[in-house]
Every structure is written in C-alpha cells, then in structure tokens.
Amino acid sequence: MAVEIKSKRDIEKMRATCRLAASVLDHIAPHVVPGVTTGELDKICHEYIVGHGAYPSPLNYKGFPRSICTSINEVICHGIPGDRVLNAGDILNIDITTTLDGYFGDCSDMFIVGGSTTPEAQQLVDVTRESLWLGIAEVGPTKRIGDIGAAIYEFAHGRHGYGVVEAFCGHGIGREFHMPPQVSHVGKRGNGLRMKPGMTFTIEPMINLGTPHCDILADGWTAVTKDGKWSAQVEHTILVTEHGFEVLTLRDASWRPSWARAS
C-alpha cells in the first residue's frame, strides 16, 4: 500500500480526531492517583470518548479487550487495563486512540503516580520526552524517515545509554489505525522514505533503562522489558506540512522543550 497523502478535508478530519484523543489525556490526568486501578482509568476514558461521539479504537482491535493501553514501570507498551493498582512512584503510560468520523487520532503520555518518583525513573521519562521532540524536529518535506529514528537513537542511546526499542515503531495513520509508512525509532540519516506534505504518522519512542529487548506476556499483548527494568513511552500524531510539521495531538499540558514552546 502506498503512503496516503491527505487532502485538505482529510487533514481537518485528522485535526478533529487528534484533538479529541489529546483531550482524553487531559481528562484522565486528575484520576491517575495512588490506589486507582488501571481498569478504572479505562472505564473513565471509555465513557469520555463515547460521550464525545467517537469510538475507542483499541477496543476489539485484533482482539484487544479494552479501550486504552496502560503500561506501568517495566511494561513497554500494550498493557491491558485491569485490577492492577497504581502505587506512588510508579510511572504510567496511557495510550489513547480515537476514531471520529472515520479518522484515527493516536497519542500517549507518561504520568508520575503521586507526583514524584526516583531520580532514575524521572530522568528516563525526561529523556523519552526530549527524544520524541528531537524526532519531531526532523519532520519536513524532502526529509527522510530515517532521520527521525537517527535523532532519537543518538540522543537516548548515544548520549544517555538507554535501550531504544526496535520491536515496535511509529506508523502512518488516517482512515486506518495502522498504515504505511513505518517510523522506526532507530534509523540512519539520509535513509528511508522521503516525506511529503499531507503525510500523517505517529512518532512514539519506547525507551528502556536497560536492554531494548522485550518479552510478550501470555495475554498476547503486554510487552515487558526482558531484564525487568523500567520503560517509558510518549507519542504524538504528526502532519507533514509545506514548511515543516504540525503536531496534531498537541495540547496545553503537552511537555515540549523550550525551543518548541517558543516556536
């Protein structure tokens, strides 16, 4: 399948679903507290999404049983909400995808349960957020997809020594949940597909304190670090524009570096 170039109408539809997906993260933030279960967070998000006339895209996607993904500590991605209770100091990724008017919007963010965690875990989250934005900065017409992964890997692994997960990657998104192109978070500069205005895709680096390798639990979904060390992930949906990029899932509470805030 060729990479889809969005029309002006498509882009407006993408903006709408991405705004909704991002707003779910704002809505759920006050509920991420010690003692709550991931299943309770799932229920709150589900009701919010449906209440806004949309569908929670993960629900029943290839058999996934819940409306959001909740990945705690050593869970890299695709954690299934359930009875697990959040404890102070846990780090939690909440991954949201909405289907609104036939278009998908996808984003995730990290939450520090109770407001503080260990310095080691806090640095992991900070580096993961910075690496996402370094990847985003490489987006633009005529640039290459490989530049995105190169920027992330150079910073997270080359500078900080963290494991950058290769088993999962960003992806094209639009009228389908997952479309071309694949956006690896480990890349080589000057390699890969040349970006064009109208492309939309996610960038969603998964950064580990230790090895980049993972295991999949018996549920067939939950990916955990092979060495049990903690992992962090952040994600935005990006539009390639005529002059650079637009972060479709940006919200007021989104973390971004000073250079991005000023732009």
What's the rounded Cα separation, in Å, for the pair 132 and 175?
24
Instruction: Name the binding residues for substrate.
Output: 78, 178
Q: How far apart are CA 112 and CA 92, in angstroms?
A: 6
pLDDT at 263: 45
Residue 146 has pLDDT above 90, yes or no: yes
Is 82 part of any domain? yes
For 123, residues 6+ apart whose C-beta sits below 8 A from its C-beta are: 160
| Rounded Cα–Cα distance for residues 1 and 21 (Å) | 26
- Coil vs helix vs strand at 50: helix
Per the structure, the count of domains in the chain is 1
Residues comprising the binding site? 78, 95, 106, 171, 178, 204, 235
pLDDT of residue 103: 98
User: What's residue 207's pLDDT?
Assistant: 98
Residue 153 is part of a domain; what is its CATH number?
Answer: 3.90.230.10
Closest CA to 24 of 77, 98, 91, 78: 98
Q: Count the residues in the chain.
A: 263
Locate tokens 């680096």: which residue?
A: 205
- Stretch 124-128: mean pLDDT: 98
Phi, psi of 72 (to 5 degrees): -105, 130
Q: How confident is the model at residue 241 (pLDDT cuts 50, 70, 90)?
A: very high
pTM score above 0.85: yes
Task: Give the pLDDT confidence of 48-92 residue by residue, as tens digits.
Answer: 999 999 999 999 999 999 999 999 999 999 999 999 999 999 999
| Token pair for 12 | 């407006």
Mean pLDDT of 23-50: 98
Q: Note whether residue 88 is domain-resident.
A: yes
Q: Which residues are annotated as a binding site for a divalent metal cation?
A: 95, 106, 171, 204, 235
- 2, part of any domain: no
**Residue 241 counted as domain residue:** yes
- Mean pLDDT for 169-189 is 97
Hey, what's the torsion of the CAs at 29, 149, 145, 18, to 10 degrees? 0
Q: Mind listing the pLDDT tens digit for each residue in 96-108?
A: 999 999 999 999 9
In a domain, 12, yes or no: yes
pLDDT for 261 equals 65
Predicted confidence at residue 41, as pLDDT, reads 98
Domain that holds residue 60: 8-262
